[in-house]
Chain A
Amino acid sequence: MPKFAVLVFPGTNCDFETVSAIKKAGGNAERVWYKQSLKDFDGVVIPGGFSYADYLRAGAISARAEIMEEIKEIAKEGKPILGICNGFQILTESGLLPGALRPNKIPRFLCKWVYLKVSDNQTAFTRFYSEGEVIRMPIAHAEGNYYVNDPNKIRIAFQYSDANGEISEEANPNGSILNIAGISNEKGNVLGMMPHPERASDRWLGSEDGLRVFKSMIEYVKR
């Protein structure tokens, strides 16, 4: 059974939920402190939270931790690396993904359910969705306003939309360029997203639309 490391920095707080979502999706997962080794794992998930209290910029300090060099190697090998919320911020800050996540356009913490359009179902984390499918997940962030110099050069995985999949300004919660909620690297094995799939992994949580992110990742390892 594929085994994933759920990375824990000081201030990470979505690690337990993420482990349990991966297990529910049919994989195995373990919380791994950022000073431990990542060998023996088939992939890495960097969960949400407030690592180093968001000092300097969200994700900036964690992105310079030694373990990120190991993660860059793992990414090169083609293994899946998923960053959720603070994890996405860490991936952009470390250069594993392009662009930057800036404070929300209206500068406040956002905690609500949103609709997402699956714009790319060819990544390691989206293969169980159909292209253009509209799904529901919660967001919870103050710095999720995605910016990149040239949006034509990146792979967009998820976009904020309305219930019909319309990508509109009204459906954009944080001011992200092109309503971007998640992107992947060119190879599709590194993905970052602001919405929390682990918080949408069971019907009693309000949605299980997020579970397929983990199912896709597990299937990708088994391929």
Chain B
Amino acid sequence: MKYKAKIIVKLKEGLNDPEGRVIEKALKNLGYKIEELKVPKYFELVFESKNPEKEVEEMCKRLLANPVIHVYEYEIEPLGE
């Protein structure tokens, strides 16, 4: 079975996000009242699996996220055979 996963990896709450801070400042300079801006990483992947939940969880833990500084969330949708 083929699946599509949409994975978001972001910094843990409270950790400083330098890139986010710079973009936030630039948007403020454009006149917007930004209170918070974060720059997570977004992955989209199509894969074949018999156990998609378990494999996506593994992919996040083993490579896509660094458990020291990141949290992650994902959605998986079946694409058919």
Partner of A175, one of B16, B19, B69: B16
CB distance from A9 to the nearest CB of B (A): 16
Question: Which residue of chain B has its CB nearest to the CB of A174?
Answer: B18
Q: Identify which of A98-106, A119-127, A205-213 touches chain B.
A: A98-106
CB distance from A79 to the nearest CB of B (A): 25
Q: Say whether A57 contacts B66, CB under 8 Å.
A: yes
Question: Which residue of chain A has its CB nearest to the CB of B66?
Answer: A100
Q: Does A56 contact B (CB under 8 A)?
A: yes
Q: Say whether B19 contacts A107, CB under 8 Å.
A: yes
Q: Say whether B68 contacts A147, CB under 8 Å.
A: yes
Residues 106-140 of A at the B interface (beta carbon under 8 Å): 106-107
Interface size class of B (residues with CB under 8 A): 10 to 19
Contact with A along B6-37 (1 / 0, CB 8 A): 00000000011011011000000000000000
Q: Does B50 contact A (CB under 8 A)?
A: no
Residues 22-79 of B at the A interface (beta carbon under 8 Å): 22, 62-64, 66, 68-69
Q: Does A198 contact B (CB under 8 A)?
A: no
Interface size class of A (residues with CB under 8 A): 20 to 34
Contact with B along A132-152 (1 / 0, CB 8 A): 000000000000010111000
With A104-B18, A106-B18, A107-B18 given, is the CB distance from A56 to B68 under 8 Å?
A: no
Q: Does A35 contact B (CB under 8 A)?
A: no
Question: Which residue of chain B has its CB nearest to the CB of A149?
Answer: B68
Q: Say whether B16 contacts A105, CB under 8 Å.
A: yes
Q: Say whether B63 contacts A100, CB under 8 Å.
A: no
Chain A neighbourhood of B21, CB < 8 A: 107
Q: Say whether B69 contacts A147, CB under 8 Å.
A: yes
Chain B neighbourhood of A102, CB < 8 A: 15-16, 69
Distance A92 CA – B67 CA, assembled complex (angstroms): 11
Question: Which residue of chain B has its CB nearest to the CB of A104?
Answer: B18
What would 17 A/B residue contacts be, using CB atoms closer than 8 Å? A56-B63, A56-B64, A60-B63, A64-B63, A92-B68, A93-B66, A99-B68, A100-B66, A100-B68, A100-B69, A102-B15, A102-B16, A103-B18, A103-B19, A107-B22, A145-B18, A147-B69
The chain B residues found within 8 Å of chain A, CB to CB, are 15-16, 18-19, 21-22, 62-64, 66, 68-69
The list of the 10 closest CB pairs from A to B, nearest first, reads: A107-B18, A100-B68, A100-B69, A103-B18, A100-B66, A107-B19, A64-B63, A107-B22, A99-B68, A105-B18
